[in-house]
């Protein structure tokens, strides 16, 4: 059982350009193995354009980390498809395909990462994608340990498995923008209001319980999935990589704590105590245990 | 304008009586599912066993109508044989097409049943021609059902760039989220549209009259609270009222059904090859009425594309069926765009 490597998933939120740059300068310094870059949520967001993300990739590549460019999850217009082609043809960096359209542009030409939104639920789908060039696949968060273990037994040799270990869960995508809707704005004149919410816009039930987070066209869980104390089951089923998803504050400390636990320098229960102050919301791990995702089960 | 090409009316059936109702009222195709989680309407008391399906196919074929089987959920490694058996049963019974979402299952079907016509389900989340052409190249799909997120110009663009026939939703319930990429129900209830074929399941619903009003919960999560006299709808997660920044409102969308009847000529001109009616969970009477109206409308539209007018009787009949729901043109028109 080898120790999983650590990746940083793509930034889900819309931050000002200077903040994005500063964030990744920090990330270059922390013990991550892989960094995923790019705008995966909304094509209207433009603080960084495709060329800027590529330039950022060049800057970060010198840190020795593997850089992967992530594609947009929901492709609606030809402009979206054009942007996808640019990414697929970048010629320098591995691409994470988050739509079958992306797979079509990458297949049999270059190896790629099969993103979680491709919905790989069984060995047959995994073999298909591996045959087309997938060198790694990201497990859909709703697939728990037991179901993943079954897929792992059918995994083709050489394909790495990456699990969403930390962050608010990406739960849904829509053509509608719920942040714009909140401000009674139309999507095409949204005034980019999502830039005002560094960790998304919190949605509560009518009795005040935090439930979901609105992030433009994406809906996230309010609770933060955190599998830091699940390492034994993660290693047992041969997971190669743990994905940490960016949050506005304390991301460096989160990475260090994961690294510390993976290296055996700190125990998971101690890391969890330290994380209490570092997480934007309560934690959950229900999906990993085959339960409703919002639950927190004993590891 | 030259004569428009044939556009099929694809109607839902959750039972043999509903299938007969659809066929009798002019459906070109009826789509159905087996009685398990191999389809996205896995509800108690709904759907077909082999005998009912066999009879349904006989009935439809006698009236020159087709039968499609939805096998549009994502099988897991552990229960994989259940889905492949369902594909085998569909092929052996002689269905006219299987509607699928899972790439692995499509690979199995394409390999094992070469004569079985494959359609890409809306659950496959294919919103662009590159994705649709991926399924065409690998599995020879003949038709793709578009998620209910695209606007008319985008549909036109997709059609211009794929040899695959395009089917769109015309009427019925409306997912706000991209189908196949929504884990809201799984997050709150553990029941996943992708793997269990159900969303916001009835077994997780609890109604309670309280001093604050009628409250409805899904697995304990408060989805809405209704004042006296307010119409209390089914607590589908994305149709609930929530608080954002201390405002209570339908954070995702007002509960409304899709009715694209007035867009019919535009859909036909766009080159859409089939119009789908949602509602396998609805009654035979509902299926009969909706099919009858859409048959009339589609015939009228195909006969005189430029002169087509929506009859007010159609709209009022469809409104009666909606049980007080309002209607929307959904993403086609994008009032929110």
Cβ–Cβ < 8 Å for B207, B149: no
Q: Compute the mean pLDDT over every residue in chain B, rounded to the nearest whole number.
A: 94
Q: How many C-beta atoms lie closer than 10 Å to residue B32's C-beta?
A: 30
Confidence (pLDDT) at A267: 97
CB-CB under 8 Å, A175 with B150: yes
pTM, to two decimals: 0.96
Q: Give me the residue from B103, B247, B251 closest to A128, CB to CB.
A: B103
Q: B26, B107 in Cβ contact below 8 A?
A: no
As to burial, measured by CB atoms within 10 angstroms (0-12 exposed, 13-18 middle, 19+ buried), residue B254 is exposed
Residue B254's pLDDT is: 86
Cβ–Cβ of A104/B131 closer than 8 Å? Answer: yes
- Cβ of A151 within 8 Å of Cβ of B187? The answer is no
The stretch A258-264 carries a mean pLDDT of 97
- A154: which DSSP letter? T
Is the domain B8-174+256-333 a CATH 3.20.20.380 member? yes
In this complex, is the C-beta atom of B214 within 8 Å of any C-beta atom belonging to chain A? no
Percent of chain A residues past pLDDT 70, beyond the cut:
100
Q: What is the pLDDT of residue B324?
A: 58
Q: Which residue has the tokens 């269905």?
A: B95
Is the pLDDT confidence value at A239 over 50? yes
Residues of chain A contacting residue B244, judged by C-beta atoms under 8 Å apart = 182, 201-204, 214
| Average pLDDT of the residues in A71-89 | 95
Q: Is B330 left (phi over 0), alpha (psi -120 to 50) or beta?
A: left
- The minimum CA-CA distance between B41 and chain A, rounded to whole Å, is 19
User: How many residue pairs bridge chain A and chain B with CB atoms within 8 Å of each other?
Assistant: 220
pLDDT given at position A105: 98
Cβ distance of A175 and B186 shorter than 8 Å: no
Q: Are A9 and A167 in contact (CB under 8 A)?
A: yes
| pLDDT at residue B325 is higher than 80 | no
**Mean pLDDT calculated for residue range A131-151:** 98
79-118 in B: which are within 8 Å (CB) of A? 80, 101-105, 107-108
pLDDT of residue B1: 46
Domain extents for chain B? 8-174+256-333, 184-250
Give me the mean pLDDT over the B115-127 stretch.
97
Distance, CA of B255 to CA of B176 (rounded, Å):
10
**Rounded Cα distance, B138 and B123, in Å:** 18
Q: Report yes or no: B177 at the A interface, CB cutoff 8 Å.
A: yes
DSSP, residue by residue, B269-331? HHT--EEEE--TTS-HHHHHHHHHHHHHHHHHHHH-TTT----HHHHHHHHHHTTT-EEE-HH
Min Cα separation A118/chain B (Å): 9
Q: Give residue B278's pLDDT.
A: 95
pLDDT tens-place string over residues B129-171? 999 999 999 999 999 999 988 999 999 999 999 999 999 999 9
B48: left (phi over 0), alpha (psi -120 to 50) or beta: beta
CB contact under 8 A, B102 and A122: yes
- For the packed helices A78-88 and A50-61, what is the interaxial angle rounded to 10 degrees? 20
Q: What is the ipTM of this complex?
A: 0.97
Provide CB contacts within 8 A for B307, sequence distance 6+: none
Map out the domains of chain A with their CATH numbers: 5-289 (3.20.20.70)
Q: CA nearest A175 in B: which residue? A: B149
- At residue A212, does pLDDT exceed 90? yes
Q: pLDDT tens across A19-69, in order?
A: 999 999 999 999 999 999 999 999 999 999 999 999 999 999 999 999 999
The verdict on a CB contact (< 8 Å) between B244 and A204 is yes
The pLDDT of residue B332: 82
pLDDT above 90 as % of chain B: 85
pLDDT at A127: 98
Q: What is the per-residue DSSP string for B180-225?
A: EEE-HHHHHHS--HHHHS-SS-GGGEEEEEETTEEEEEETTEEEEE
Contact A205, A211 (CB under 8 A): yes
């Amino acid at each position: 059982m080898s120790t999983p490597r650590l990746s940083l998933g793509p930034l889900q939120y819309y931050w000002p350009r200077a903040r994005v740059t500063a964030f990744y300068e920090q990330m270059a310094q922390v013990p991550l193995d892989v960094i995923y870059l790019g705008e995966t949520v909304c094509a209207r967001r433009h603080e960084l354009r495709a060329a800027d993300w590529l330039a950022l990739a060049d800057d970060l590549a010198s840190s020795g980390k593997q850089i992967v460019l992530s594609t947009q999850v929901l492709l609606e217009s030809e402009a979206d498809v054009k942007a996808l082609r640019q990414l697929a043809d970048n010629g320098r960096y591995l691409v994470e395909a988050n739509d079958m359209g992306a797979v079509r542009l990458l297949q049999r030409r270059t190896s790629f990462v099969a993103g979680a939104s491709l919905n790989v639920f069984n060995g047959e789908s995994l073999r298909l994608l591996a045959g087309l060039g997938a060198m790694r696949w990201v497990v859909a968060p709703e697939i728990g340990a037991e179901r993943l273990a079954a897929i792992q037994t059918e995994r083709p040799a050489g394909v790495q498995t990456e699990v969403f270990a930390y962050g608010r869960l990406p739960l849904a995508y829509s053509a509608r923008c719920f942040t714009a809707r909140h401000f009674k704005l139309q999507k095409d004149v949204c005034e980019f209001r999502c830039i005002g919410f560094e960790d998304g816009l919190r949605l509560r039930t009518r009795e005040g319980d935090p439930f979901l987070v609105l992030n433009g066209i994406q809906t996230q869980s309010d609770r933060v999935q955190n599998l830091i104390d699940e390492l034994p089951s993660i290693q047992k089923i041969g997971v190669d990589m743990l994905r940490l998803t960016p949050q506005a504050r304390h991301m460096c400390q989160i990475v260090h704590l994961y690294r510390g636990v993976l290296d055996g320098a700190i125990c998971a229960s101690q890391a969890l105590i330290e994380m209490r102050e570092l997480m934007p919301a309560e934690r959950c791990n229900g999906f990993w245990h085959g339960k409703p995702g919002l639950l927190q089960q004993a590891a | 304008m030259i004569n428009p090409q044939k556009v099929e009316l694809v109607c839902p059936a959750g039972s043999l009586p509903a299938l007969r109702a659809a066929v009798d009222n002019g459906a070109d195709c009826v789509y159905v599912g087996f009685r398990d989680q191999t389809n996205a309407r896995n509800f108690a008391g709904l759907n077909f066993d082999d005998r009912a399906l066999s009879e349904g196919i006989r009935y439809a074929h006698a009236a020159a109508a087709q039968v499609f089987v939805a096998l549009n959920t994502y099988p897991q490694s552990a229960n994989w044989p259940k889905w492949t058996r369902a594909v085998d049963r569909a092929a052996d019974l002689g269905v006219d097409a299987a509607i699928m979402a899972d790439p692995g299952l499509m690979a199995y079907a394409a390999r094992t049943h070469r004569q079985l016509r494959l359609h890409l389900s809306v659950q496959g989340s294919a919103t662009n021609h590159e994705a649709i052409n991926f399924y065409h190249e690998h599995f020879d799909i003949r038709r793709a059902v578009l998620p209910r997120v695209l606007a008319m110009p985008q549909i036109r663009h997709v059609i211009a760039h794929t040899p695959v026939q395009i089917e769109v939703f015309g009427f019925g319930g409306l997912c706000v989220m991209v189908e196949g990429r929504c884990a809201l129900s799984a997050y709150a209830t553990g029941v996943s549209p992708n793997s269990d074929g159900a969303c916001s399941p009835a077994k997780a619903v609890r109604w309670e009259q309280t001093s604050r009003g009628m409250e409805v919960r899904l697995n304990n999560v408060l989805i809405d609270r209704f004042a006296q006299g307010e119409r209390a709808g089914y607590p589908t997660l994305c149709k609930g009222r929530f608080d954002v920044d201390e405002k209570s409102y339908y954070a995702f969308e007002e509960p409304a059904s899709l009715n694209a009847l007035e867009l019919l000529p535009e859909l036909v001109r766009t080159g859409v090859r089939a119009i789908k009616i949602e509602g396998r969970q609805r009654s035979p009477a509902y299926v009969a009425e909706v099919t009858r109206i859409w048959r009339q409308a589609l015939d009228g539209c195909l006969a005189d594309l430029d002169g087509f007018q929506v009859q007010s009787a159609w709209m009022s009949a469809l409104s009666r069926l909606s049980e007080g729901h309002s209607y929307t043109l959904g993403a086609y028109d994008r009032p929110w765009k």
